């Protein structure tokens, strides 16, 4: 078996060949690293593709290409069943993200390559806990099914606040109510905080961010955003987002952009208003974002307090 290693990670998926259908001359091997996920955890499905004959493969990827994330919703189709019910036209692309790119691969018999499939189930209004069954289809080939469960967060809002675990004190392997990705975002348990570490490429490029989980909201609504953070000169923006349902998917309808300009290197408190006027808003999510300068920034609390 020959591997094409243009993608950043290769996965050995043993014992799945018998359950994959290769009508299109390709074997598609799908794997879920976990049987159970918490709501705070990202679901990444591992994919290995092996050619049985000379094949040209149109690999569609989410930007950036270096992540090796497969775009699903076009030629690559995920058949998704949730609690036994089929989800029509599932996709893992969320506009206005950049359009998917295409890489044409020519595979000889026995050649293979691997990729990952980000499974962004939370852009659909599924009630948790939920049991998922997933198969991948491409050009006549069908993967083996994978099954896993996603459980609802165990977190609760802090007294007087709206966000789950706004003081970052609750959790075991991760802070409840928050999604952390990448090795530059860490949860510190004592004293509790989210620490984001920016190198030069990240600080001067995309920056770093952390998302809260989605929470139900009845709009119109007004909040006071309260943030306590310690910065080494990095700029801070907290996006307080309002989401609604459009064509069966969650879509961003309103966004409060809350800018904070740290003046020193000590912990400081910030207050600003966040307002939702669109009555179609049904869910709220917070994105904590930082950029501009190299170094560490600690978020010691992030919460929303409803205005009376």
- The answer to whether 304 and 226 have CB atoms below 8 angstroms apart is yes
Helix/strand/coil for 65 = helix
Domain boundaries, the chain: 2-151, 178-306
Q: Which of 218, 225, 247 is nearest to 299 (CA)?
A: 225
- Give dist(CA 191, CA 177) in Å, integer: 18
Q: For residues 268 and 226, give the distance between their C-alpha atoms in angstroms, rounded to a whole number.
A: 11
How far does Cα 146 stand from its chain's mean position? Answer: 19
Tokens representing residue 165 in the block: 């675990």
The third-level CATH classification (topology) of the domain covering 178-306 is Jelly Rolls (2.60.120)
Burial of residue 218 (number of CB atoms within 10 Å: 0-12, 13-18, 19+): exposed
DSSP character at residue 127? P
Q: Which residues of 84-115 are buried (b: 16+ CB within 10 A; e: fewer)?
A: eeebeebbbbeeeeeebeeeeeebeeebbbbb
DSSP 292: S
Distance of CA 143 to the CA centre of its chain: 23
Would you say 261 and 227 are in contact if contact means Cβ atoms under 8 Å apart? Answer: no
pLDDT of 23 reads 56
> Could you say which architecture CATH assigns to the domain 2-151?
Sandwich (2.60)
Give which of 77, 170, 61 is closest to 113, Cα–Cα: 61
- Which residue has tokens 């043993």? 14
Distance CA 41, CA 61 (A): 22
Establish whether domains 2-151 and 178-306 are of one fold: no
Strands, E assignment, 41-84: 44-51, 55-61, 77-82
Buried b (16+ CB within 10 A) or exposed e, 29-44: bbbbeeeebbbbbebb
Count of other CB atoms within 10 angstroms of residue 128: 15
pLDDT for the residue 20: 53
**Secondary structure of the chain: what % helix, strand, coil (to 5)?**
5, 50, 45
Report whether 228 contacts 300 (CB < 8 A): yes
Tell me what pLDDT residue 25 has: 85
Helix extents (H) in 40-195 = none
DSSP-assigned letter for residue 200: H
Give, for all 308 residues of the chain, the pLDDT tens digit. Answer: 344 443 433 333 333 333 455 556 899 999 999 999 999 999 999 999 999 999 899 999 999 888 899 999 989 999 999 999 999 999 999 888 889 999 999 999 999 999 999 999 999 999 999 999 999 999 999 999 999 999 999 999 999 899 999 999 999 999 999 999 888 999 999 999 999 999 999 999 999 999 999 999 999 999 999 999 999 889 999 999 999 999 999 999 999 999 998 888 899 999 999 999 999 999 999 999 999 999 999 999 999 999 97
Q: What is the pTM of this model?
A: 0.88
* The predicted structure's pLDDT at residue 191: 95
């Amino acid at each position: 078996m020959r591997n094409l290693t243009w993608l950043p990670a290769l996965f050995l998926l043993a014992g799945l060949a018998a359950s994959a259908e290769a009508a299109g001359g390709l074997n598609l091997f799908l794997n879920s690293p976990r049987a159970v996920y918490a709501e705070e955890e990202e679901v990444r499905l591992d994919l290995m593709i092996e050619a049985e004959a000379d094949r040209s493969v149109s690999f569609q990827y989410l930007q950036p290409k270096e992540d090796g994330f497969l775009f699903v919703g076009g030629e690559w189709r995920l058949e998704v069943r949730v609690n036994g019910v089929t989800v029509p036209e599932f996709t893992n692309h969320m506009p206005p993200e950049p359009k998917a790119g295409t890489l044409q691969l020519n595979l000889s018999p026995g050649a293979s390559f691997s990729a990952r499939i980000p499974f962004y189930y939370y852009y659909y209004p599924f009630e948790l806990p939920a049991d998922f069954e997933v198969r991948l289809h491409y050009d006549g080939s069908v993967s083996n099914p994978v099954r896993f469960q996603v459980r609802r967060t165990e977190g609760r809002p802090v007294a007087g606040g709206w966000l789950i675990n706004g003081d970052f004190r609750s959790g075991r392997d991760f802070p409840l109510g928050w999604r952390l990705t990448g090795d530059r975002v860490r949860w510190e348990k004592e004293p509790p905080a989210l620490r984001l570490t920016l190198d030069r490429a990240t600080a001067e490029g995309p920056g770093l961010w952390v998302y809260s989980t989605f929470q139900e909201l009845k709009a119109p609504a007004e909040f006071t955003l309260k943030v306590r953070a310690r910065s080494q000169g990095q700029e801070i923006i907290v996006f307080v987002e309002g989401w609604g349902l459009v064509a069966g998917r969650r879509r961003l309808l309103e966004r409060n952009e809350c800018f904070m300009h740290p003046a020193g290197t000590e912990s400081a408190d910030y207050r600003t208003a966040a307002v939702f006027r669109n009555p179609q808003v049904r869910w709220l999510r917070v994105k904590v974002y930082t950029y501009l300068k190299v170094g560490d920034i600690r978020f010691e609390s992030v919460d929303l307090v409803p205005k009376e």
